[in-house]
């Protein structure tokens, strides 16, 4: 079991600390240092935009913060706990309960309905079907999809699919929502709606929000803007 305190979503203060985080890749015989000794503290409820050139390492950074990838060096603390000290089962449980992900390409299950996709994390966690369904319906209504509950993913527009992805990411009320170019393949008007929704949900649910984006309008909606340059985080954009 993961420490219960890690799964609660109500404390103030420091939530994530990156300490000396470095990550590189070896490809075709050469070494690429993508993240270089990054130190950064994130407070509960913060909203942070991460911008930077394509290929600079934004997704690499987000994946490490989301514990999908491990740093080569350095430590990721979540509420003071070094989460990479967990074994793989504990880490998976922690991730399922505490972190929500939204990607540019939503990774929804196309053969299933919106409702089934949003229920999935609750079912994995072991909740009763009836409870999972009730919560998922409420979350889908919250993101504006009341009339789309039984639609299969392929029957939905890009913006609707991204709303489903958002509902699925938030269904377990994660302490942290990580979004990697969430509106990268949506038109301007649809993007603006999703951006507004992200900000509203942050205010309502109090989750910490970290968004990788190329969209300057979205970045400006968030409290903090960071630019990844040469393996380091700089304030501003």
Residues that bind ligand ADP (CB under 6 A): 25, 27, 32, 34, 52, 54-60
Q: Could you tell which of ligand ADP, Mg ion, none binds residue 100, using a CB distance below 5 to 8 A set by kind? A: none
Question: From residue 227, how far is each of 57, 211, 215 by CA, in Å?
Answer: 11, 12, 13
Closer residue to Mg ion (CB): 59 or 67: 59
Closer residue to ligand ADP (CB): 58 or 195: 58
Q: Could you tell which of Mg ion, ligand ADP, none binds residue 25, using a CB distance below 5 to 8 A set by kind? A: ligand ADP
CB of 55 to ligand ADP, least distance (A): 4
Closer residue to ligand ADP (CB): 48 or 167: 48
Q: Could you tell which of Mg ion, ligand ADP, none binds residue 54, using a CB distance below 5 to 8 A set by kind? A: ligand ADP
Closer residue to Mg ion (CB): 94 or 101: 101
Of the candidates 139, 62, 153, 136, which has an alpha carbon nearest to the alpha carbon of residue 99?
62
For Mg ion, which residue has the nearest CB? Answer: 59
CB of 54 to ligand ADP, least distance (A): 5
Quick one: CA dihedral 182, 169, 177, 76, positive or negative?
A: negative
* Count of Cβ atoms closer than 10 Å to residue 151 Cβ: 16
Q: Which two tokens stand for residue 24?
A: 């590189």
CB of 50 to ligand ADP, least distance (A): 9
Closer residue to Mg ion (CB): 59 or 135: 59
Pseudo-torsion of CA 36, 66, 218, 223, nearest 10°?
A: -80
What residues have CB less than 8 Å from 203, skipping those under 6 apart? none
CB of 99 to ligand ADP, least distance (A): 18
49-88: which residues touch Mg ion (CB under 5 A)?
Answer: 59
- CA–CA separation, 152 and 180 (whole Å): 23
Phi, psi of 221 (to 5 degrees): -70, -20
What residues have CB less than 8 Å from 88, skipping those under 6 apart? none
Residues that bind Mg ion (CB under 5 A): 59
């Amino acid at each position: 079991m993961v420490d219960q305190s890690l799964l609660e979503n109500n404390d103030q203060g420091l939530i994530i600390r990156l300490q000396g985080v470095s990550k590189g890749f070896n490809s075709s015989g050469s070494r690429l240092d993508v993240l270089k000794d990054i130190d950064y503290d994130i407070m509960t409820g913060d909203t942070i935009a991460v911008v930077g050139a394509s290929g600079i390492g934004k997704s690499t950074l987000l994946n490490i913060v989301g514990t999908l990838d491990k740093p080569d060096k350095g430590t990721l603390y979540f509420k003071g706990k070094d989460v990479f000290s967990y074994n793989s089962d504990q880490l998976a449980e922690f991730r399922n309960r505490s972190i929500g992900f939204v990607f540019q390409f939503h990774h929804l299950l196309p053969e299933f309905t919106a409702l089934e996709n949003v229920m999935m994390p609750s079912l994995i966690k072991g909740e009763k079907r009836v409870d999972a369904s009730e919560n998922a319906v409420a979350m889908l209504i919250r993101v504006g999809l009341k009339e789309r509950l039984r639609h299969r993913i392929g029957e939905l527009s890009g913006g609707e699919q991204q709303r489903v992805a958002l509902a699925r990411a938030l269904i377990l009320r994660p302490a942290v929502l990580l979004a990697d170019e969430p509106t990268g393949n949506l038109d301007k008007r649809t993007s603006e709606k999703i951006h507004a929704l992200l900000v509203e949900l942050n205010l309502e649910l109090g989750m910490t929000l970290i968004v990788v984006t190329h969209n300057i309008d979205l970045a400006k909606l968030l409290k903090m803007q960071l630019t990844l340059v040469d393996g380091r985080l700089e304030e501003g954009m």
